[in-house]
Structure 1
Amino acid sequence: MFLSAKRRLIAATIQFFDLFSGIGGFREGLRRAGNFVCVGHCEVDTYADKNYRLLFDTEGEWYCNDARTIEPERMPDFDLLCAGFPCQAFSIAGKREG
Structure 2
Amino acid sequence: MVLVPLEDGDRCQVLAGMGKYVIAIDLNPLSRTAKAATVTIVDNVVRAIPNMIGLALRMKDLDADRLDDIISRYDNEETLRAAIEEIVTRGFAGV
More strand as a share of residues? 1
TM-score, length-normalised on structure 1?
Answer: 0.40
Bigger radius of gyration: 1
Query: RCO higher in 1 or 2 (8 Å CA, sep ≥ 6)?
Result: 1
TM-score, length-normalised on structure 2?
Answer: 0.40
More helix as a share of residues? 2
